[in-house]
């Protein structure tokens, strides 16, 4: 157990205890609902009085995430703290940890929110990664190009998500422009993978060291944003088991308490390469909300509250489809009218381009996840539209 956590009891929280959640987005919203189901009260620290989490919480503290007065007041009003997104200060979690347990810890957040720290940690833990190099200046930029070859990806170390904060470099003439366009420095250069697919594993670890893994999901993206997750991922059983073992190894090395999303690439030869980690519930785990008796949010709250972790059973196969921006939300009436669609809306007011507004789960009997055509048929109004731009009239 980390030094900050060891000062507090690891005993299970009693019913009506207060779970503090830093962040007011949809992950906080669904965590708050899970907390209520388990008999806890959710207290949200947010800057948005009408954000997704605030709409369903027992209590809300409005304040900046670096406001120590607000942080102290929040921490004194809760029994344990967790967080629903990573773009907050680890120093803020350290401040909170003076008053109550913080799960996962600020030390884990420091690793996961910085790509350079994350890759260094994973490399030192012998976790397989795509080739990478730190890029601190023009000399290391050109050294990365020489080592990794073209094309490669240049990424910011912080605040990159949904395809933001990165640039593909296809040739030497693009090096300097790519370096100048991304800030702040340093950056991380990643070699291109002979990519077959992306999967993700949700792993949870309790205060007693018990670990549980959900089945890997297969992810596909649109415009850099997760579009669809298939669960279980249609990969060989041996590959799924290796992916879960990697996720458990990372969770144990981190001394995690809570849930962790581990994104991985599978290359053309079947090798697994970890892409990134996220110590919180994850978009690619939303399928568990309807396909599992205990979903990712229930498991996360159980872990941070010190409750026993049940097996991660799955009673159905599932397809999760994100609802993004105004185009998908324009289909909301049709989604509601489509048999078999299980809708989850996040309560956001404005359907901006690229903004995740909700998701839909579609269930299939255990072991009967259909192929691509069957999935498109099940998606109904949300299915990919055929490209008719070049069709002959």
Per-residue pLDDT of 19-65, as tens digits, reads 999 999 999 999 999 999 999 999 999 999 999 999 999 999 999 99
Q: Do the annotations mark residue 124 as ligand-binding?
A: no
pLDDT of 181 above 60:
yes
**Cβ contact 214:260 at 8 Å:** no
Q: Which band of pLDDT confidence, cut at 50, 70 and 90, is reported for residue 390?
A: very low
Q: Which band of pLDDT confidence, cut at 50, 70 and 90, is reported for residue 196?
A: very high
Q: Do the annotations mark residue 198 as ligand-binding?
A: yes
DSSP, res 381: G
Closest to 226 (Cα-Cα) out of 254, 261, 250, 193? 261
Q: Do the annotations mark residue 285 as ligand-binding?
A: no
Predicted local distance difference test score (pLDDT) of residue 183 = 85
Single pTM value for the model: 0.93
Closest to 351 (Cα-Cα) out of 331, 327, 325? 325
Predicted local distance difference test score (pLDDT) of residue 4 = 43
pLDDT of 159 above 80:
no
pLDDT of 388 above 80:
no
Predicted local distance difference test score (pLDDT) of residue 124 = 97
pLDDT tens digit sequence for 268-282:
999 999 999 999 999
Q: Do the annotations mark residue 166 as ligand-binding?
A: yes
d(CA 104, CA 81): 8
Q: Do the annotations mark residue 160 as ligand-binding?
A: yes
Domains and CATH numbers, the chain: 5-102 (3.40.50.20), 131-191 (3.30.1490.20), 195-381 (3.30.470.20)
pLDDT of 128 above 90:
yes
pLDDT (mean) for 334-363: 97
What is the bridge-based pairing of β-strands 195-205 and 356-365?
A: unpaired
Q: Do the annotations mark residue 252 as ligand-binding?
A: no
Q: Do the annotations mark residue 389 as ligand-binding?
A: no
CA 287 to chain centre: 13
Q: Do the annotations mark residue 275 as ligand-binding?
A: yes
Q: Do the annotations mark residue 69 as ligand-binding?
A: no
Q: Which band of pLDDT confidence, cut at 50, 70 and 90, is reported for residue 184?
A: confident
SS3 call for 301 = helix
SS3 call for 19 = strand
SS3 call for 46 = strand
Edge-to-edge order in the sheet of strand 59-62: 59-62, 41-46, 18-22, 80-83
d(CA 118, CA 253): 12
d(CA 52, CA 77): 21
**Over pLDDT 70: what percentage of the chain?**
96
Q: Which band of pLDDT confidence, cut at 50, 70 and 90, is reported for residue 165?
A: confident
What is the bridge-based pairing of β-strands 41-46 and 59-62?
A: parallel
Q: Do the annotations mark residue 24 as ligand-binding?
A: no
Q: Which band of pLDDT confidence, cut at 50, 70 and 90, is reported for residue 161?
A: low
- The DSSP string of 139-184 is HHHHHHHHHH-SSEEEEESSS--TT-SEEEE-SGGGHHHHHHHS-S
CA atoms within 13 A on the CB side of 53: 31
pLDDT (mean) for 193-202: 96
Predicted local distance difference test score (pLDDT) of residue 86 = 86
Q: What is the mean pLDDT of the chain?
A: 94
Q: Which band of pLDDT confidence, cut at 50, 70 and 90, is reported for residue 158?
A: confident
Q: Do the annotations mark residue 162 as ligand-binding?
A: yes
Q: Do the annotations mark residue 23 as ligand-binding?
A: no
Predicted local distance difference test score (pLDDT) of residue 387 = 60
User: Token pair of 188, please?
Assistant: 């991380």
d(CA 237, CA 232): 10
Exposure pattern of 69-97 as b/e (b: 16+ CB <10 Å)? ebbeebbeebbbbbbbbbebbbebbbbbb
For 189, residues 6+ apart whose C-beta sits below 8 A from its C-beta are 132, 133, 134, 135, 141, 144, 145, 148, 152, 153, 154, 155
**Cβ contact 232:172 at 8 Å:** no
pLDDT of 391 above 50:
no
d(CA 225, CA 232): 20
CA distances from 29 to 14, 34, 45, 51, 372 (A): 21, 9, 12, 9, 32
User: Token pair of 152, please?
Assistant: 């490669």
**Cβ contact 329:128 at 8 Å:** no
User: Token pair of 32, please?
Assistant: 């708050």
Q: Do the annotations mark residue 67 as ligand-binding?
A: no
Q: Which band of pLDDT confidence, cut at 50, 70 and 90, is reported for residue 389?
A: very low
Q: Do the annotations mark residue 315 as ligand-binding?
A: no
DSSP, res 6: G
Predicted local distance difference test score (pLDDT) of residue 259 = 98
Q: Do the annotations mark residue 165 as ligand-binding?
A: yes
């Amino acid at each position: 157990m980390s030094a900050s956590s060891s000062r507090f009891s690891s005993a299970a929280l009693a019913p009506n205890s207060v779970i503090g959640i830093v962040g007011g987005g949809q992950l906080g919203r669904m965590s708050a609902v899970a907390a209520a189901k388990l008999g806890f009260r959710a207290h949200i620290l947010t800057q948005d009085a009408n954000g997704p989490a605030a709409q369903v919480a027992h209590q809300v503290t409005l304040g900046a995430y670096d406001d120590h007065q607000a942080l102290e007041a929040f921490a004194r009003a809760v029994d344990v703290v967790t967080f629903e997104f990573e773009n907050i200060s680890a120093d803020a979690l350290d401040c909170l940890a003076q008053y109550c347990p913080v799960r996962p810890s600020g030390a884990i957040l420091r690793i996961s929110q910085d790509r350079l720290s994350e890759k260094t940690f994973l490399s030192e833990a012998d976790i397989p990664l795509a080739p990478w190099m730190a890029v601190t200046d023009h000399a290391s930029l050109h050294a990365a190009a020489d080592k990794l070859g073209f094309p490669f990806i240049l990424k910011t170390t912080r605040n990159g998500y949904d395809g933001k904060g990165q640039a593909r470099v296809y040739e030497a003439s693009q090096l300097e422009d790519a370096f100048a366009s991304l800030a702040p420095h340093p950056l991380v250069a990643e070699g291109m993978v002979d990519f077959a697919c992306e999967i993700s594993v949700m792993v949870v670890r309790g205060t007693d060291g018990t670990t549980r893994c959900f089945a890997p999901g297969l992810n596909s993206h649109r415009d850099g944003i997760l579009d669809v997750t298939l669960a279980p991922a249609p990969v060989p059983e041996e590959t799924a088991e290796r992916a879960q073992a990697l996720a458990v190894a990372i969770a144990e090395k981190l001394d995690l308490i809570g849930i962790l999303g581990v994104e991985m690439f599978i290359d053309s030869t079947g090798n697994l390469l970890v892409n990134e980690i996220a110590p919180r519930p994850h978009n690619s785990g939303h399928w568990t909300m309807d396909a599992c008796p205990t979903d990712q949010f229930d498991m996360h709250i159980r872990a941070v509250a010190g409750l026993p972790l049940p097996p991660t059973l799955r009673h159905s196969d599932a397809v999760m489809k994100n609802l993004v921006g105004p185009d998908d939300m324009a289909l909301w009436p049709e989604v509601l009218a489509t048999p078999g669609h299980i809708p989850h809306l996040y309560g956001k007011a404005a359907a901006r381009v690229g903004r995740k507004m909700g998701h839909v789960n579609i269930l299939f009997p255990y072991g009967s996840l259909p192929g691509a055509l069957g999935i498109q048929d099940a998606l109904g109004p949300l299915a990919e539209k055929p490209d008719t731009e070049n069709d002959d009239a």
